[in-house]
A and B are shown apart, each in its own frame.
Chain A
Amino acid sequence: MSIDESTAAKVAKLARIKVEDDDLPALAAEFNTILGFIEQLGEVDVDGVEPMVSVTPMRLKRRVDEVTDGKMPDKVMSNAPDAREGFFAVPKVVE
C-alpha cells in the first residue's frame, strides 16, 4: 500500500491536523516508511495460528453497576478554554 499526497491530505483533514501543501510530500513519504516497516509482519507465516490479542492470559476486566464516579463538574471543566453556565462552550456547530 502506498500513500500519495492526496491520501496524506485526507488523513490530515480527518484528524483535524493542519498540514501545509508544501509539507504533504514529506508527510506522504513518512507514512510510506511507517507502513513499509509494518508490512514486514506480512512475511510471517500465521497459517493455522489463532489470532492473539494479548501475550498474557488476561480476561476483560469488569465492573459492577454502581455509581462510583462523577459529581465533580469543576474538575471536569477545569481545562475548558471556554465554559458557560456549567457547559463547555465551543464555536457554533449546527447541522
Chain B
Amino acid sequence: MLDLTYEAPKPKIIAGAKHDWELVIGMEVHAQVSSNAKLFSGASTAFGAEPNSNVAFVDSAMPGMLPVINEYCVEQAVRTGLGLKADINLVSAFDRKNYFYPDLPQGYQISQLYHPIVGEGEVLVELGDGTARMVRIERIHMEQDAGKSIHDMDPHMSFVDLNRTGVCLMEIVSRPDIRGPEEAAAYIAKLRQIMRYLGTCDGNMQNGNLRADVNVSVCLPGQYEKYQDTQDFSHLGTRCEIKNMNSMRFIQQAIDYEAKRQIAILEAGGEIDQETRLYDPDKGETRSMRSKEEAHDYRYFPDPDLMPLEIEQAWVDDIAAKLPELPDDKKARFVRDFELSDYDASVLTAEVESAAFFEKAAEGRDGKLAANWVINELFGRLKKEDHDITESPVSPEQLGGIVDLITKGDISGKIAKDLFEIVYTEGGDPAEIVEKREMKQVTDTGAIESAVDEVIAANPAQVEKAKQNPKLAGWFVGQVMKATGGKANPKSVNEIVQAKLGL
C-alpha cells in the first residue's frame, strides 16, 4: 500500500519591514481535455490548424445551433476526478457564464457553476526536501475554452481565431492549502504528472493546454492555523487573483512579487482590494485588470439548451477499474520492488514513458544498476541532445543488455560507457558488439599478471619511487589499464600490482 506518512513543509515566511508574514495560495488550474472533438461540437481540437478551420457552427454560435455533449470528454473528467481521489457526482449540470469578448461568439461560456461533475479530492504534493503537502481539491468542472485573440498583427485591429473555441477544459479548483511559490509550482507539476499518467491532458503549458489562475493573500503567522481549524476565511487576508499563467517559473515570480506588494500596502496601513491582476514577465510585476472588474457580473444561470448530465455508477466503476497505476503508487512500488532510493524512484516516475522504459530495462535484472544507467547515462545523453525518452535511440532491451554484460562481469563500468555510446549512435545488440569488437573484460589473472610484469620491467625508476610512496601504485594500475585497452578488471589489476610491488 501507499505509504502516506510524510512531513508537511514549513510555510514560506516573508519578512516585512515591521514583522514576518505568511503566504496563502489557492489555484484554479485549467487543463485542456485530451479528445479528438470539442465538448459540444464535432470540430477537431488539433493544435496549430489554419485559423478558423476547426470551427463548427455551434462554436461560432450561429443562431439555432444546439450543443451536443461529447461523452468522451465526460469520461475524461471522471477519470481525472478518480485520479485525484475525488467524489464523482452522478448528476451535474451546465450553466451559462455571461460576458462579452470578441473571442467568445456565444456571449457566454458553458460551464458548471452550481453542480460540478467532480467534488472534493486531494493531491499529495512532494517537495524536493523530502516534505510533502496534502492539497485539498474543492471541485473539478467542465467548461468550454474561448477563442484566441491576437493583438500584435495589426496596429488598430485585434484578430480572432475560433479554433480553440469550445474545446473542453477541466477547471481544477484547490483549497487555499498551498503555502509558498515552490509549493505552487510543485502542485501544478503534480497535477500535470497525474493527468499525463491518466491520459486526460497532455500538460503542454507552452501551448496553453495547462494554465492557472493563482489566488494569493498574506496573513500574520498563526492566522492560517485558525483558518484550518474553523475553515473560516475571515482569518485570512484579502486575496488577489493572478490570471492565466502558463509557466511554472512565472507563477513563482508572480507570487513572490504579489506577496511583497500586498505586504507593503498592509504595513503602510492600507487595505488590499480584492481584484484580478495580470503578471507582466518583462517587468516582473503584477498589475490590475480594472477593465475586467466591471464586467465581473457573470449572471450565471442554468443553460436551457442542456439537460442535466446524469451518469451511472457502474460506468464510473468501470472507468475506475481501468485506471492506470498512478505516480504515487508507481513510485512506492519502484522503491519496494527495485530497492530504489526515493529520489531515483521520483526521477524515473516523473514521466509515465520514463517509468515504462525503466521497468522494461530492469525486468529480471538488478534494479539499482538499471536505474543508474537509465538516469545517469541515458537521461544525461538524451538531455544533451534535447531529446525526451520517447525519442531514445536506445531501446529498453538494449540498455538491459548492457546491464547484463556488467552484471556478468563481461565488461567494466568504463567499457560499458563506451559500449553505450556505440549502441546510442550506431545501434546493435550489446552482447554482439562486445564479442565482435573484443571489448570483453580480461579477468584471466595470467594475462593481467604478464601485463603488470611488463610495466614493472619497463619502469624500474617508478618501482623504486613506489616502494617509498605506496600511493604511486595507482600509476601502475593506470599503465596496465592502458596497455590492456581498459579491458582488464581494475580490481584484479590493483591487487596484482600491490602484490608484485610488495606493498
Q: Which residues of A contact B (CB under 8 A)?
A: 10, 14, 16, 53-54, 58-73, 76-77, 82, 84-95
Contact = CB atoms under 8 A, between A and B. Distances in A.
B319 interface: no
Interface in B153-206: 153-162
Q: Secondary structure of the B side of the interface?
A: loop
Contact of B278 (A53, A67, A82, A95): A95
Contact of A87 (B155, B161, B307): B161
A92 B150 CA distance: 9
A12 B156 CA distance: 27
A69 B60 contact: no
B221 interface: no
22 contacts: A10-B297, A14-B98, A14-B297, A60-B308, A61-B307, A63-B42, A64-B71, A69-B58, A71-B53, A76-B60, A85-B159, A87-B161, A88-B52, A88-B102, A88-B162, A89-B157, A89-B158, A89-B160, A90-B158, A90-B159, A91-B157, A92-B158
A91 to B, nearest CB: 7
B352 to A, nearest CB: 21
Contacts of A73: 50-53, 55
Interface footprint category on B: 35 or more
B109 interface: no
Nearest to B60: A76
A70 B56 contact: yes
B68 to A, nearest CB: 5
B43 interface: yes
Interface of B: 35-37, 41-44, 50-58, 60, 68-74, 98, 100-102, 149-151, 153-162, 278, 289, 291-292, 295, 297, 299, 306-310
A90 B102 CA distance: 7
Given A84-B159, A86-B50, A87-B51, A65 B307 contact: no
Contact of A91 (B70, B158, B162, B292): B158
A91 B156 contact: yes
Nearest to B168: A65
Contact of A70 (B43, B70, B72): B43
A86 B291 contact: no
Contacts of B60: 76
Contacts of A60: 69, 306-310
Contacts of A66: 36-37, 42
Nearest to B296: A14
Given A60-B307, A63-B70, A89-B159, A68 B37 contact: yes
A54 B155 CA distance: 50
A66 B37 CA distance: 6
Contacts of B44: 67, 70
A70 B42 contact: yes
Contacts, number: 137
B412 to A, nearest CB: 53
B54 A65 contact: no
Nearest to B151: A94
A90 B292 CA distance: 18
Given A68-B37, A70-B56, A54 B278 contact: no
A82 B157 contact: yes
The A interface, classified by DSSP as helix, strand, loop or mixed, is loop
A35 to B, nearest CB: 14
Given A64-B72, A67-B42, A93 B102 contact: yes
Nearest to A71: B53
B162 A76 contact: yes
A88 B160 contact: yes
A10 B296 CA distance: 12
A53 B42 CA distance: 26
A82 B73 CA distance: 34
Given A65-B36, A67-B42, A53 B69 contact: no
> Which residue, of A14, A53, A66, A70, has the highest number of chain B Cβ atoms within 10 A?
A70
Nearest to B55: A76
A91 B37 CA distance: 30
B284 to A, nearest CB: 18
B159 A87 contact: yes
B56 A69 contact: yes
Nearest to A90: B102
Given A67-B42, A85-B51, A95-B278, 12 more contacts: A14-B295, A14-B297, A61-B307, A63-B42, A65-B71, A66-B42, A69-B58, A70-B41, A70-B53, A73-B53, A85-B159, A88-B160
Contacts of B98: 14
Contacts of A63: 37, 42, 68-71
A10 B70 CA distance: 36
A87 B150 contact: yes
Given A58-B307, A62-B69, A90 B160 contact: yes
A92 B50 contact: no
B99 to A, nearest CB: 8
> 8 nearest interchain CB pairs?
A68-B42, A65-B72, A70-B43, A69-B42, A87-B159, A69-B56, A86-B51, A88-B160
Given A58-B307, A62-B68, A87-B150, A67 B159 contact: no
Given A60-B306, A60-B308, A95-B291, A84 B154 contact: yes
A94 B308 CA distance: 36
Contacts of B37: 63, 65-69
Given A14-B295, A65-B72, A92-B151, A86 B307 contact: no
B157 to A, nearest CB: 5
